Amino acid sequence: MSSAPSDSQRRSKRKASTPLLLQEEQAGLQLQQQEEKDLQRALKASQEEFDVEEESDEDLSILEHDDEEEEKEEGPTLSLDSTWKQEIYQVVLPPFKALSGPQVPFSDPLDLLHLFLPYSLLALIATNTTAYAHSKGTSSDWGTTPDELFVFIAAHICMGICVYPQVHMYWSQEYHLPFISQCFSRNRFMELLRYFHIAPLNESSATSSPLGKVQLLLDFLAVSFASFYKPDRELTVDEAMVGFKGRSTLKQYIPNKSTKWGYKIWCLCNHNYTLAFKVCEGARSGNESVTAAEAALELVRPYHNHNRILYMDRLFTSPNLLATLLENKTRGCGTVRNNRVGLPEEFKRKEKEMKSGEMECWQKGNMGALVWKDRRLVYMLTTYVYHPKRRSGFFARIARRSRGCPG
């Protein structure tokens, strides 16, 4: 029968192995000390190269710490015409002072819906719907009202939540929905569905453009989206899909999307709010096709000159786009394809040279390029550049992750 271990044996076992958490803390402290030394050397070299005066008002001491507060002053500005270098210089983000947040008060979701579907818009659609019905041979006393159209739209929202395979089932004895069947008879609902018309009858664009019949609504929403909410610094541009499998020249197929068939829409967003959008008409629509970069510039144009940051994916990002944004005092950041014109030549030669977790950076003026090896190479481009040795900022967060450190 084995005896229980003595106190000295227990004590020796505890001393034999150092807790893993302590090792990580010690490694982190050493890494932090080394980073601070490298940062001081980089700052000194930066001051010497740009001939910064000793009596400058810029407080360089804030670079030694995790800058929780927004930095106030511009760093050295380099020409975008210069060449890519692996000497990374500090670029301080200018302050953001534009008005942001909701611009109108509302108390409940119905008030919010009325902001985007006001009585004036519904009255205009009711007038156009009545005129269209008369042009199709209905009696002169046939008509509709804004209130009826508001309920008609609410019925469609309800049908989108509770989906039946056929429309007549919403009035059937077995499956009927009281909200819909009590608001409309089936015949009246089908009449409104047939004659619902947004564009005026005398609009030539309603027949010449694929979006002509709904352009009035799109223009109205574009104004209201931008008026009722002002974004803060961070903006995001991306493409969205509205599912549709019917016949349309605007319908597109994107295999890597969860919704593969439908209308593609360029969207500019901030905090889950759509600030602006543009329906992609495509080449088959007969109109000139708009590239992703052109769509991004058009959507973000109203928000220029306030030092905002536009985040995007590689469909949009290119050196030319980020340079154009920077000329309009808008920063940019996103993944990028390695075959874009103007990127460092070394981008294409890193596939076999880099190991997993390694990262390399280049900078040209206020624009920075980064390649990071995960399972595959990740290429990034940004004009929101920070020194990679800092413990905060865009490059540093990726550097810490590539070294296996938290954060």
pLDDT at 125 over 70: yes
pLDDT at 90: 77
Strand partners, 367: 364
Q: How far apart are CA 189 and CA 171, in angstroms?
A: 11
Report the predicted TM-score, pTM, of the whole model to 2 decimal places.
0.71
Do the Cβ atoms of 292 and 318 come closer than 8 Å?
Answer: no
pLDDT at 30 over 70: no
Q: What band does 25 get if pLDDT is binned at 50, 70 and 90?
A: low
pLDDT at 398 over 50: no
Q: How many CB atoms lie within 10 A of CB 6?
A: 9
pLDDT tens string 225-263: 999 999 999 999 999 999 988 888 889 888 888 899 999
Question: What is the rounded (10 degree) CA torsion for 221, 225, 226, 232?
Answer: -160
pLDDT at 15: 44
Determine what percent of the chain is predicted with pLDDT higher than 90: 43
Q: What band does 55 get if pLDDT is binned at 50, 70 and 90?
A: very low
Do the Cβ atoms of 60 and 40 come closer than 8 Å?
Answer: no
Six token digits for residue 187: 């015949």
Six token digits for residue 198: 């947004």
The single-letter code of the amino acid at 253 is: Y
* Mean pLDDT, rounded, for 198-220: 82
Q: How far apart are CA 407 and CA 400, in angstroms?
A: 7
Buried b or exposed e, range 289-324, using 16+ CB within 10 angstroms: ebebbebbbebbeebeebebbbbbebbbbbbebbbe
pLDDT tens string 363-375: 888 899 988 888 8
Do the Cβ atoms of 249 and 212 come closer than 8 Å?
Answer: no
pLDDT at 74: 37
Higher pLDDT, 162 or 53: 162
